A and B are shown apart, each in its own frame.
Chain A
């Protein structure tokens, strides 16, 4: 079955370290998204991509970067981890329909703790 996976599921790191969270989908979806979820803020969009070599900033992109070298993967990098980036991170994908009526499918999440 097609799916979307994230790794690692849990990560502890130290302030200032570079961290990369992986996201892999097997649906061949064009669109991929990264969100963070924090108490009191719901889901906030970090970065998104509409296809290979395309990346766009979301509402909370500072301190994060992504690159899209193939259809299946959109890794999220924290350049220099900060305690404010302790959160649960969700990857999502959608087909990229011409009529723009999309359904997003979510991965299981990565819980990141920055000490």
Chain B
């Protein structure tokens, strides 16, 4: 069946460091891919998405490229801020079903 695997956390970085959170997926057909962010005490918010191969989703300085050849959708940001501290979830949507990764907690230190 379809599934999403993302790197375990927590990931701890200093402010202005480069961020990569790895995400790989298994799916039939051509799913849509997403990154959601969850700040403490809040629900999940859509961060970015890509609906077809080679699409790049971007928002708030975060980027992820849909790589069908490597079945990956890694999240990157060039310079993280303390306010980026949150839990990040990779997800895929396929045939009206959603599959989430287990989440990666990011801690950014000043």
Residues of A within 8 A of B (CB): 31, 33, 41-43, 45, 50, 90, 92, 94, 96, 100-109
The answer, among A42, A90, A101, A109, for a CB contact under 8 Å with B93, is: A101
Considering the complex of A and B, which 4 residue pairs feature the smallest CB-CB distances, nearest first?
A42-B102, A106-B43, A101-B32, A106-B44
4 other contacts beyond A100-B93, A105-B46, with CB at 8 A cut-off?
Answer: A42-B100, A100-B96, A102-B96, A108-B43
Contact at A43–B42, with CB atoms within 8 Å?
no
B98 is an interface residue with CB less than 8 A from chain A? yes
Instruction: Classify the interface of chain B: helix, strand, loop or mixed.
Output: strand
B49 is an interface residue with CB less than 8 A from chain A? yes
**Known A90-B43, A109-B42; contact A102-B93, beta-carbon cutoff 8 A:** yes
Q: How far is the CB of A10 from chain B (nearest CB, A)?
A: 11
Count of CB-CB pairs between chains A and B under 8 Å: 53
Contact at B93–A106, with CB atoms within 8 Å?
no
A100 CA to B28 CA in the complex, in Å? Answer: 13
Residues of B within 8 A of A (CB): 31-32, 34, 36, 42-46, 49, 51, 89, 91, 93-96, 98, 100-103
List chain A residues, Cβ under 8 A from B44.
43, 90, 92, 106
Q: Which residue of A lies closest to B45 (CB)?
A: A106
Q: How far is the CB of B35 from chain A (nearest CB, A)?
A: 12
**Known A42-B102, A109-B42, A109-B43; contact A103-B49, beta-carbon cutoff 8 A:** yes
Contact at B103–A100, with CB atoms within 8 Å?
no
Q: Which residue of A lies closest to B4 (CB)?
A: A42
Contact at A43–B100, with CB atoms within 8 Å?
yes
Q: How far is the CB of B38 from chain A (nearest CB, A)?
A: 9
Q: Which residue of A lies closest to B34 (CB)?
A: A103
Q: How far is the CB of B41 from chain A (nearest CB, A)?
A: 8
Contact at A104–B98, with CB atoms within 8 Å?
yes
List chain A residues, Cβ under 8 A from B103.
42-43
Q: How far is the CB of B26 from chain A (nearest CB, A)?
A: 16
A102 CA to B36 CA in the complex, in Å? Answer: 14
